[in-house]
Amino acid sequence: MFFSFNSPFISSSEIRGENHLIRVMVLGMSLQDVMVLVPPQMAKFRSITVADETGKMIPAKIERVDRRVAVVFNQPVISGKTIEINFSDTDITMEEGEILLYSVTAK
């Protein structure tokens, strides 16, 4: 199977302790903003940060309204970069075998 991406996409996600990480590979175009609809199982978290693949923080305005999170970058993220959205101190309530489904859109 062969995949060819020409727009940003979720490359991976993971739960690391009390942090939930979403990685987005930026391809085909620069990335101005990212919107995340957080699943109900992780509706409680303390803060959100965004870093590049080296761990360097990316300046952005981050707003949360209910389960919707908007990340608007001060400068567009160029194609070829990976960003990591880190939800810290997340209180995730899941049953065994349950998965987290979230929606991510980008512009």
Tell me the CATH number at 59.
Answer: 2.60.40.740
Determine the pLDDT at residue 43. 66
Quick check: is 4 in a domain?
Answer: no
Q: How far apart are CA 11 and CA 5, in angstroms?
A: 11
Residue 41: both structure tokens together: 């199982």
**Nearest-5° Cα angle at 66, 63 to 67:** 90
The burial class, CB within 10 Å (0-12 / 13-18 / 19+), for 26 is buried
Quick check: is 1 in a domain?
Answer: no
Quick check: is 29 in a domain?
Answer: yes
Quick check: is 85 in a domain?
Answer: yes
Quick check: is 76 in a domain?
Answer: yes
Determine the pLDDT at residue 92. 76
Q: Which domain holds residue 41?
A: 9-92+100-106
pLDDT digits (tens, 9 = 90+) for 72-100: 999 999 999 999 999 998 877 777 888 88
Give the residue from 103, 99, 85, 88 showing the smallest Cα distance to 16.
Answer: 88
Q: How many structural domains comprise the chain?
A: 1
Q: Is pLDDT above 80 for 9?
A: yes
